[in-house]
Each structure stands twice: as C-alpha cells, then as structure tokens.
Structure 1
C-alpha cells in the first residue's frame, strides 16, 4: 500500500499531534487562536491538549486532531546509502593498503555554534550508539577543533594538517545560520584549493537532509542518527576505494 494516512487511535483515522508557540499571553483567547491555526493547517476538529505560558507574552501549545491529507509513499524521494558499511578493522586495512599513510580528518563546529555534542559523537573515541568514534580508527588522524571555529581558521588548519576530509557540525539553526555557515565554509575551501586537491567536505546536523548537499556545496550531508561507522565508511569509499568524487556545486 503506497497511499497512507496518519494513525492515532485506529488505523487510518488521520489523527496527529503537533506543538507550536504563539506570541500571546495564555488565556482562553490564546487557546482559541491555537485551534484556529490548527484548523487552517488542515486539522479539524482540533483539541488543545496542553497549553503552558512561556513568560508573560508567549504560550506553548500541543494540539491533537484528525487531518484529511494522504501520503503517497511511492513518491517519497530518498538518497540510499551507496557505499558499504565497514567494520573498523576493515576500514583501517583499506586505508593502509590504499593510501599507505593515515587519512587525516579535521572537524569543527563553525561560526558561533557552541554545540559540540554532534561532532564529538562522531570524532571522539567514546563514539555514539554503541560505536567507537573516528579516534578509535588507527589509520585515521583526527583533529577536532571544537566549537565556534571561524571559517578562515578552519581552512588554515586544514592546510596545516594536510586534511583529506573536513567534517562540519551545525546545530544552531536560528535564521538559517546552519545553511549560511556551511555555504560560507564550502565557498572558502573552493577558493583556497584547486578542485582536484580540495578536501572532501562533509556537513552534519539535525536540520540537514542528504538532499541538501548540492545546495550547500558539500560532498555529503549526514543527518540525525548518523553513526561514526557510517562516516568512516563513507570516507574510505570516497577517498580510498573510488579515489574519485563528483563535486556538488550550489545551483545559481
């Protein structure tokens, strides 16, 4: 079945729950405004199941109700993983045989982003989701620059370390900061390096989708839930196994 509806209490009843904040004090009029917004979004009837003041001038709502919209799963576009997942020992062996040197990875949170949880989960040895981070791989030289790294400094360190790959994590998303910062980073590396010697550019964060790579000007995007093994396997595939990559460029 490719045509589906949301499920709440019974199959196909279309029930959904959503949350949002309105810039109004919490009172009956505010709850009415929340219902009106939900109705305009296709939820009818809408029930306010939770309302909480967020200071004197804002109210947080959770609303519940049915929608009539259908989803055609046959038209959903996804990017399938196009490289094999490797165990750390296999990744190490491939790098050792293919490069005959260590593969250097430089990572950072750029701009004003101070959230290092994502980059640390991928790069630090403690890892994420039961997998060791990139520091665990003997054939990877990992340089984690941490938080709030300016793009010029990232380029400078990449050149000093002779980086093969750049990993950039972005969590702060207000006013599309994650998009703007990543585009700035991509443009800086393309200006600083000839295309054939440019490091592989990888962006990651909870608000990124894999389909955004071309628009951001990076080679790969990893979203939420990505594990260190997936990143390591991709780097081996693009830098060791294939040795050729198709550059993504922002569309004009």
Structure 2
C-alpha cells in the first residue's frame, strides 16, 4: 500500500522536523534552518520554533510539505515469531524442557551507566505492570548492573552457566552501542565453543532489530520491549526448538 504523510488533511504530505544547528540564534540561523529543510525536500518549509540552546547552538522545529511516498509492502521489520506466554506458562515450559532453572545474566557494558532498561526487564518491579524476569521462579537471574567490562561479563556468564546473556545499551554516541555489541559477540565466540555459548540478546532504543546477524547476536529488542516478550523468546529459542 502506498501512503504519504498526514498533517492537516489526508494525503497533504505535511511533516514536522526538529534539529539543532551549531550557530547562535539570529535571523541568519533561522534562514539556515529553512535552507536545510528545503534541501531535505520540504517545500514550502515553515519555521515554527527557534530557541537558543546556549554556547552557540539553536534548536529548531520546521513544518512543511514533502512529496515522498511510502510503500508499506516493502518495509522490512522483525516480526515476533513466537507466542507470547504468561509467567505460569514460561515456568512450566522451563521446568518441563530443561528440568532445571534457566540461567540469565544481564548487564550494561562498556561505559554505559543507564540501567533503566536492563532493570525494567530483570528486576521484580518490571515495567508497565509486568513483573521482571526475577519474578519467574524457574529463571535464575544475575543482574551485574552498569559499566561492566566485556571480559567480566564473559566470566560472569561462565560462572553462572548462563543460558542467555542480556545486554542493554542506551549510550549511542559514535555508535558505541554497535561497537560494544560486536566486541561482546566476538569475546563469547573466542571464549566458548559453539554449543556452549549462551544466547546473546541486546536491547536499546537505537538498535535496528534487523542487524542481529551483522552484530553477531541472536536477537535484538527495541524500545517498548516487555519482560514477557523476553521470557517468551527465551522459551522459544532455548526450549521450543529442541527436538
């Protein structure tokens, strides 16, 4: 299906764009913002907001029409290919399939100190009314917290005999989340033989979920992921595929 942006009326192609330019706020800066919007295909472009950010930066909001169309049939996304299970169903599947507790190790690696994401998935309090993985009695969860080095993560996973390693990455400056993920995947490949490696799962708001193979991990979860989705995937990947 072919669609175009909607602003004031159906199919009018109107979009809103926000950005910052490294220039102090004045008339010339506003003109520069409109020039950028025009080069991005907005015609006409209207400057609806400009605010100094201090230190020679200005934040802009521009509104205007674009002529681009979107073909929804060609959009590539990672669809959930496993059933969403309740905590009771997850516990039953693990107990039946593994006959032991499923070991999960989680952390924020590198210099990333933002534990909100990993805590939302792992901690009992969870997120959005859902309990975290610590709530599941058949899951043994080790939360290493923030700024964990890759060697320490590998060693912790080995010590816990981890079935799965969950890594959250929020810091994305200079693609730090991508570099850290590749480093982690390479470290596990080097440290453990195939078949002994835990399932590698990463999550964060700036990941492209289609890049799992490229980054060397088994699964990528994006923004809005819930503990139930992660728990259900663990069952699917570690138990559901067993003969």
Q: CA RMSD in A?
A: 0.8
Structure 1 residue matching 2:7: 3-state secondary structure: coil
For structure 2, the 5+ residue unaligned runs are none
Give the 3-state SS of the residue equivalent to 1:197 in structure 2: coil
Distance 2:213 2:158 in 1: 24
Partner in structure 2 of residue 176 of structure 1? 175
What CA distance in whole angstroms lies between the structure 2 residues aligned with 1:13 and 1:119? 41
> CA separation in 2, counterparts of 1:122 and 1:79?
20
Deviation at 1:82, TM superposition (A): 1.0
3-state SS in 1 of match to 2:234:
helix
Q: How does 1:52-91 map to 2 (within 5 A)?
A: 52-91=51-90
Question: What is the SS of the residue equivalent to 1:18?
Answer: strand
| TM-score, normalised with respect to structure 2 | 0.99
Q: Which runs of at least 4 in structure 1 moved beyond 6 Å after TM superposition?
A: none
Answer with 76-85 or 155-164: which moved more: 76-85
- Please state whether the residue corresponding to 1:162 is helix, strand or coil: coil
Partner of 1:93: 92
Partner of 2:133: 134
CA distance in structure 2 between the aligned counterparts of 1:142 and 1:36, rounded to whole angstroms: 52
Deviation at 1:210, TM superposition (A): 1.5
Q: Report the secondary structure of 2:162's partner residue.
A: coil
1:56 shift after superposition? 3.0
Shift of 1:16: 0.4
Question: How big is each residue's C-alpha offset from its partner over 1:69-102, in whole Å with a ceiling of 9 and x where there is no partner?
Answer: 0001111112211111110000000100111100
TM superposition shift of 1:209: 2.0
Equivalenced residue count is 243
Residue in structure 1 matched with residue 152 of structure 2 by the alignment: 153
Report how far residue 15 of structure 1 moved: 0.5
Aligned to 2:128, the other structure's residue is in SS state coil
| Whole-Å separation in 2 of the counterparts to 1:47 and 1:90 | 53
How far apart in 1 are the matches of 2:111 and 2:137? 32
What's the secondary structure of 2:63's corresponding residue?
strand
Partner of 2:118: 119
What are the Cα deviations for residues 197-242 of structure 1, in whole angstroms up to 9, with x where unaligned?
A: 1000000000012201011100000000000000000001111121
CA–CA separation in structure 2 for the residues paired with 1:67 and 1:130? 40
Whole-Å separation in 2 of the counterparts to 1:100 and 1:130: 29
Q: C-alpha displacement at 1:130, in angstroms?
A: 1.6
State the TM-score, normalized to the length of structure 1: 0.95
